[in-house]
Amino acid sequence: MIDPRKFVECLQSNSVGFYTGVPDSLLKEFCACLEQVPAAGQHIISANEGGAVALALGYHLATRNIPLVYLQNSGLGNIINPLLSLADGEVYSIPLLLVIGWRGETGVHDEPQHKKQGRVMLSMLEAMEIPYRVLGPEVNDAEEVLSDALASVRKNNAPFALVIKKGTFSAFTGDKQEAAAFELTRETAIQHVLEFLDQRDVVVSTTGMASREVYEYRVKKGEGHARDFLTVGGMGHASQIALGVALHQPDRSVYCLDGDGALLMHMGALPITGVLSPGNFKHIVLNNGAHDSVGGQPTVGLDIDILAIARACSYRMVVQAQTPQELQSGLRELSRSKGPGLLEIRIRCGARKDLGRPATTPVENKRAFMDFIQGSSHGRS
């Protein structure tokens, strides 16, 4: 296994001094190290992977030095355009080191949203003509691999990728960051929301812990899952899925359970929703200021005014809640107000260690959700 501290120190000794990206569970020890070892300002958690490439490009323009961009392989879709239209050797020719967590590796059990991405990732890198090396927990020459990768980056003035297998990095031992101590957990907040809803209301939940907690609540209550669309992949896109449903099911309320990291990743969705102004669109942002599903790395969610942003994007009502009482009041206001409306719920980080995963497949979830909507479009159930 690779010691993340030694890995980062090796990067620094090779003049790689700027690090940016979107956190990944396979890279969480590496990401934890980046939060503490580099100097202040030399590590930035970006809103999305494409933005990380742009930040890295700006760093290189300003310093001539090599930047590093890290990501889960699910983020390759966000990164293809800036890699090929900006960083590529035939365009601006940017020396760039990529560190990519390999979710869905063939032969390694993973969730359905990662299987195709994992299977085609190396082929995608080859199609983009980006050279790469694979690093796994059995590696004993990480410094040599890193040296070869950086030699390629410098020689070609172009990206090179290190593909990281599960379990490659050993645990990072450093100071633990203090998390905001809000009263509500995400799971408790979700339970309040689901218990409040009308029988015709539907839910579109974002990827990660939120969808898992929605699923577990329905199991605990002995209810079906037909009213919930569990967005197991596509981080940042749940709100636009919910918008598409809301626009074409105007007689039912559509609740989007979003996260702060997901909201930040594709914030351009907010003005589209606001200007289209669907009266039945109810946007709930579960904000703990962290990428909680992949290790708890910080976002800027608690440092910005989400309500003011939504208001500026033409949302008709916005409200914030931090306590159970405020949450109940906010839900009543959200349900009664003509949308689009946004309820920000400030919550603690963390989840139950025994939190399960959906036992149904994404296709089964899709079919049940569609059957519910089309079967209950007329009259209340």
pLDDT digit string, tens, across residues 288-306: 999 988 888 999 999 999 9
Helix (H) or strand (E) holding 164: strand 159-164
Rg (CA), the chain: 22
- 282 shares its domain with 317: yes
- 250 shares its domain with 358: yes
Q: For residue 63, is it within any domain?
A: yes
Could you tell me if 352 and 220 are in contact, meaning their C-beta atoms sit under 8 angstroms apart?
Answer: no
- 239 shares its domain with 363: yes
Which backbone phi and psi does 379 adopt, to 5 degrees? 85, 160
- 217 shares its domain with 282: yes
Q: For residue 380, is it within any domain?
A: no
Cα 159 to Cα 149: distance, rounded to the nearest angstrom = 9
CATH code of residue 287: 3.40.50.970
Q: Tell me how many degrees the CA angle 29-267-299 measures, rounded to the nearest 5.
A: 30
Tell me the pLDDT tens digit for each residue of 27-61: 999 999 999 999 989 999 999 999 999 999 999 99
pLDDT (tens, 9 = 90+) of the chain, 381 residues, equals 999 999 999 999 999 999 999 999 999 999 999 999 999 899 999 999 999 999 999 999 999 999 999 999 999 989 999 999 999 999 999 999 999 999 999 889 888 889 999 999 999 999 999 999 999 998 878 899 999 999 999 999 999 999 999 999 999 987 776 767 899 999 999 999 999 999 999 999 999 999 999 999 999 999 999 999 999 999 999 999 999 999 999 999 999 999 999 999 999 999 999 999 999 999 999 999 999 888 889 999 999 999 999 999 999 999 999 999 999 999 999 999 998 999 999 999 999 888 988 999 999 999 999 999 988 654 433
Residue 12's contacts (CB-CB under 8 Å, 6 or more residues apart) are: 37, 38
Euclidean distance between the first and the last CA atom of the chain, given in angstroms as a whole number: 55
Q: For residue 381, is it within any domain?
A: no
- 104 shares its domain with 195: no
pLDDT given for residue 139 in this prediction: 82
- 153 shares its domain with 195: no
Of 164, 194, 223, the position where a domain reaches its end is 164
Which backbone phi and psi does 235 adopt, to 5 degrees? -55, 135
- 85 shares its domain with 133: yes
- 206 shares its domain with 277: yes
- 160 shares its domain with 280: no
Type of residue at 104: G
Residue 125's contacts (CB-CB under 8 Å, 6 or more residues apart) are: 132, 161, 163
Number of domains in the chain: 2
- 147 shares its domain with 235: no
Query: Which residue, 226, 258, 230, 273, is CA-closest to 373?
Result: 226
